[in-house]
């Protein structure tokens, strides 16, 4: 057994024995890491994480980042990674807008898209050559005639995409539903979070509940290209040509979006307590599909682990 058995409570990586630490570090070749709450928190940095990632890279581990946050632009991500001294190429940064582009290309999608999402998200799709419709982008007149004018539309929309939109309104949701009545119109979800941390002490209702309205009204479950979506997992496995998912370590701070996603894909999982989950929440988790194999205070603990193992080796 290379990883901790599923029915055991997760172990803190710094409480592992020397032998267990060595085995753990040798049990994976590739690391997928979440960003918010792991690399940094919204409005502050987490000390020591750059050392953690560079220790893994120093051991030859392949490193990619997978976030559910498409509200930030690629340039903003790159700038912040650079500032922290973490080396990561643009192609190793996955967020739902990017994953949806890859998904649409794989299914050879060629049609009109109606989208409810942030501007940075939409610009990723436009840059990739997709044709988008959106709106209404202002409040409509309060009567049924105006509602009809805004939601009934004869454009041949063949995909509806829903991610985080600070300006989400009911006419947008109603309009999406009308397009989805067409049997060939796909429903595609980005992030599916129910509550979404967007700043210090600021959590908003995420896209999940609005996606649920569309799923229930149309009977279409939709494809999910944010964590913990099945379709995102399939794309990653294909893209990196992963034959043995057990040799991948998923690092994240959320039990559902990161741990459950990782387990679903067959990866090993490491929960860090530097973001959205506390030790008591971890201890209270009873569902086996959300229990990580390991946990740590933060990614900084990985640097310590790698150094200790290296020292013991000398």
Could you give the residue numbers annotated as active site?
34, 36
User: Rule CB under 8 A: is residue 147 a binding residue for other proteins?
Assistant: yes
Locus of tokens 């080796």: 313
- Binding track over 181-210 against other proteins, x by CB under 8 A: x------------xx--xx--x-xx---xx
Measured from the CB atom, the residue of 171 and 266 that comes closer to other proteins is 171
Per the annotation, binding residues for substrate are 227
Task: Pick between residue 213 and residue 237 the one whose CB is nearest to other proteins.
Answer: 213
**Sole residue written with tokens 């709106």:** 135
For tokens 């050879």, the residue is 108
Q: Are 261 and 282 in contact (CB under 8 A)?
A: no
Spatial CA neighbour of 294 closest among 271, 278, 275 = 271
288: closest CA among 259, 252, 266?
259
Encode 57-101 in three state secondary structure.
Answer: HHCCCEEEEECCCCCCCHHHHHHHHHHHCCCCCHHHEECHHHHHH
**Residue choice 177, 230, 247, 304 for contact with other proteins (CB under 8 A):** 177
Nearest distance in Å: CB 195, other proteins: 7
Q: Give the nearer residue to other proteins in terms of CB position, either 169 or 264.
A: 169
41 binds other proteins (CB under 8 A): no
For 80, residues 6+ apart whose C-beta sits below 8 A from its C-beta are 40
Q: Classify 293 as helix, strand or coil.
A: coil
> What mask of x and - would describe binding to other proteins in positions 235 to 264, judged by CB under 8 A?
------------------------------
**In this structure, what are the phi and psi dihedrals at residue 183, rounded to the nearest 5 degrees?**
-60, -25
Residue of the chain from 14, 171, 297, 308 that contacts other proteins (CB under 8 A): 171
Q: Which is nearer to other proteins, 123 or 146 (CB)?
A: 146
The token duo for 163 is 């991610």
Binding residues: 34, 36, 227, 253
142 near other proteins, rule: CB under 8 A: yes
Which positions lie near other proteins, rule CB under 8 A? Answer: 137-148, 151-152, 165-171, 173-174, 177-178, 181, 194-195, 198-199, 202, 204-205, 209-210, 213, 216-217
């Amino acid at each position: 057994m290379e990883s901790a058995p599923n029915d055991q409570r997760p172990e803190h990586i710094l409480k592992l024995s020397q032998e267990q630490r060595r085995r753990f570090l040798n049990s994976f070749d590739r690391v997928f890491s979440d960003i918010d709450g792991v690399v940094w928190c919204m409005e502050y940095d987490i000390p020591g994480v750059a050392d953690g990632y560079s220790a893994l890279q120093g051991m030859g581990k392949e490193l990619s980042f997978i976030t559910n946050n498409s509200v930030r632009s690629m340039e903003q991500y790159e700038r912040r990674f650079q500032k922290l001294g973490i080396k990561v190429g643009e192609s190793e940064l996955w967020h739902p807008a990017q994953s949806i582009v890859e998904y649409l290309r794989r299914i050879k999608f060629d049609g009109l898209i109606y989208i409810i999402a942030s501007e940075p998200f939409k610009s990723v799709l436009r840059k990739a050559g997709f044709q988008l419709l959106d709106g209404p982008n202002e409040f409509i007149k309060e009567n049924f005639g105006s509602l009809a004018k805004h939601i009934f539309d004869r454009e041949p929309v063949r995909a509806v995409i829903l991610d985080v939109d600070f300006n989400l309104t009911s006419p947008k949701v109603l309009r999406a539903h009308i397009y989805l009545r067409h049997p060939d119109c796909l429903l595609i979800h980005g992030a599916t979070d129910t509550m979404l941390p967007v700043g210090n002490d600021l959590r908003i209702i995420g896209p999940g509940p609005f996606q649920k309205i569309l799923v229930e009204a149309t009977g279409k479950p939709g494809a999910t290209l944010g964590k913990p979506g099945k379709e995102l997992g399939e794309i990653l496995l294909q893209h990196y040509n992963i034959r043995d998912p057990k040799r991948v370590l998923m690092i994240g701070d959320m039990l559902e979006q990161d741990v459950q996603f990782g387990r679903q894909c067959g990866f090993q999982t490491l929960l860090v307590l530097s973001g959205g989950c506390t030790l008591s929440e971890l201890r209270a988790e009873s569902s086996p599909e959300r229990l990580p194999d390991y946990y740590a205070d933060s990614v900084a603990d990985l640097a310590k682990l790698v150094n200790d193992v290296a020292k013991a080796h000398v």
